[in-house]
Structure 1
Amino acid sequence: MSSDPIQRRLIQEVVSTQNSMASVAQQDAGQPYDIGDMYAFNFALQDVANANWANSQYTQYKYGISKAIINAIN
């Protein structure tokens, strides 16, 4: 696991949203679903996508900063 507290928090958020999405999907498994269930699953899926996007952006930011520092040293 990362020693960076921001990275750890972002990863925890990704895992949490994935678990939430899985919970929504399993909650009504085997039962008829309605439009509300579809919206709930869609919102959970969007939360997962947003958490993954934020984590990706932070990783790119860290890479960019590291590269800029290395280039400045050279």
Structure 2
Amino acid sequence: MYRELLREWVPEKKRATYYAFIHDESECLSRLIDNVLQLARMTRNDLRLHLRPVSAGELMDRAEGSSS
């Protein structure tokens, strides 16, 4: 719906900014949905965890990689 509005109503010079905003908000919504689904699995005791020891360095590398 917003894509169609952009195509018809938003001036060309502002479209890239609006598209970027829509993309970013879509990504946030996807992460929120994933989190809700994971919480639902946890509350149903349906979440399967595969625990294994990791070094602090590996943990830091993973944390840095997930923030981008």
TM norm structure 1: 0.47
Q: In the TM superposition, what are the counterparts of 1:1-74 in structure 2 within 5 Å?
A: 22-23=1-2, 25-29=3-7, 33-34=12-13, 36-67=14-45
Q: Which amino acid aligns with 1:33?
A: E
Misfit runs of 4+, over 6 Å: none
RMSD: 2.4
Matched position secondary structure for 1:67: coil
Greater relative contact order (Cα < 8 A, sep 6+): 1
Q: CA deviation at 1:28?
A: 4.2
**Any unmatched runs of 5+ in structure 2?**
47-68
| Structure with the larger helix share | 1
Distance in 2 between residues matched to 1:28 and 1:66, nearest whole Å: 42
How many residue pairs get aligned? The number is 45
Which of these two proteins has the greater Rg computed from alpha carbons? 2
